[in-house]
Amino acid sequence: MEVPILKQGPVLIATFQAALSDADLNQLRSALVQQVVRFRSRGVIVDVTAMDVMDSFASRTLREIAHIIRLRGAETVIVGIQPEVAFAMVQLGLTLEGVATALDLEEGLAYLNQKFKTMK
């Protein structure tokens, strides 16, 4: 199941569906990086609201995406981690250190817009 990526101005928005396999996550990573380059995007939002499990692989892939995109000069923010998913992640020791997170899509966009101002 491929993750759809929407382009909204300088921002790309990837919305996760529920049951993503490792292969889907790897596919998303390459697709996002390619599109950031293609559209010269300045920000990426990964919406994980629908994700019911964030295990070590998903968590590591998200961190890699954020770090790759930062090296490219753009910012990534992960939005919509569900409270119970966050609880399980902390128990597993997965903290997404060094990756920006926000409550939802709206807050994520606000965060990126703020970043864009300071980047100018």
Residue ranges that bind another protein, judged by CB under 8 A: 19-23, 52-57, 59-60, 82-85, 87-89, 91-94
Taking the least distance from each CB to another protein, the nearer of 24 and 107 is 24
Taking the least distance from each CB to another protein, the nearer of 20 and 74 is 20
Q: How far is the CB of 112 from another protein (least distance, A)?
A: 28
Q: How far is the CB of 82 from another protein (least distance, A)?
A: 8
Taking the least distance from each CB to another protein, the nearer of 86 and 110 is 86
| Helices 56-71, 83-92: inter-axial angle, 10-degree rounding | 90
CA nearest to 16, candidates 40, 62, 48, 56: 48
Q: How far is the CB of 54 from another protein (least distance, A)?
A: 7
Which residue in this structure is represented by tokens 């990534």? 76
Taking the least distance from each CB to another protein, the nearer of 50 and 119 is 50
With beta carbons less than 8 A apart as the criterion, state whether 44 and 32 touch.
Answer: yes
Q: How far is the CB of 53 from another protein (least distance, A)?
A: 5
Phi, psi (degrees; rounded to nearest 5) at 6: -105, 145
With beta carbons less than 8 A apart as the criterion, state whether 76 and 44 touch.
Answer: yes
Helix (H) or strand (E) holding 117: helix 105-119
